A = this chain, B = another copy of it.
């Protein structure tokens, strides 16, 4: 059942429960010259038959391709392989790419759609809470370089994003919890009310269908920001809340210990501690109790804190070495601060280690 449509730039974002068949029908897939599905085997095993049947019900026989699991799949090599695959099957500008998967397969396949013949339509069915709250909105598509994540890509809106609660039921609990952190971030960006309602969700949600209106509220935070600043000239940077330390934690632990969302969750706690030192008076007590049960043991007592802070300097949103920190002075009162004193960052990191160790 479709609950709601949101228009954003060239995308239509649809929320619903067991709704992707209905949405695909509305999109008139048969008008395309061909349909190319890109997914990952683990996800395909759960939902592939259903998706393929929905496409065939539109009178279209899709070509289907699986890409490997994991962040390392987002590289220029796999990007090239997918482009060759499209050309092998004579995809043209009126063909469509249909993506079933999390952020990795979405970012990668979206960049393929952006680049093939200088841009073709794509439709995205995000299958993780993380990609539903984050990667699916805003048109950022990319692959990684060894030097850093998402260093090569473009802005290319999917024609349609289908956010269907039914795909979350098969998601491992750890991935649900990691995705939750971007949702929590949207609450912190927006208001006390949204922050509280997201923070109060139980750690294990058995059925997301009842929470779709709340998920939609979270996502609309990102929608509003992206609408105002599609190319990240200013406001959109606030979506980086929690990410500067988060990315550093991921790099420090060589992407082995934490999922992206988990690292962001830790980064959210950290920036509240920085906020306090920059004059923020809001009491963020309780945030660590929201995050802690959703992440693995942090093990931060053993961190080389100077090295960790050095890693924050590699943030790709930096310009000429100056890092913009996104500081939550209170829910709904988040500011971009260009360059924060190293002593402040270090002092906040000491508190973080003390609280989270």
User: Which residues of A approach B to under 8 Å, CB–CB?
Assistant: 33, 76, 79-80, 83-84, 87-88, 92-94, 114-119, 140, 142, 145-148, 150-155, 231, 316, 318-320
- In angstroms, Cα B92 to Cα A153, docked, is 14
Instruction: Kindly list the 4 A-B residue pairs having the minimum CB-CB distance in the complex, ordered from nearest.
Output: A87-B147, A76-B80, A33-B320, A115-B152
Q: Are A151 and B87 touching (Cβ within 8 A)?
A: yes
Residues of B within 8 A of A84 (CB): 145-147
A-B contacts, 13 of them at CB < 8 A, read A83-B151, A84-B146, A87-B147, A88-B147, A92-B316, A92-B319, A94-B320, A115-B153, A116-B151, A117-B152, A118-B142, A118-B153, A119-B155
CB distance from A195 to the nearest CB of B (A): 30
- In angstroms, Cα B115 to Cα A115, docked, is 9
Known A84-B145, A145-B87, A319-B93: A140·B152 in contact at CB below 8 Å: no
Q: Are A92 and B320 touching (Cβ within 8 A)?
A: yes
Residues of B within 8 A of A148 (CB): 87
Known A84-B145, A147-B87: A119·B318 in contact at CB below 8 Å: no
- In angstroms, Cα B154 to Cα A236, docked, is 23
Chain B residue with Cβ nearest A75: B80
Partner of A94, one of B116, B151, B154, B319: B319
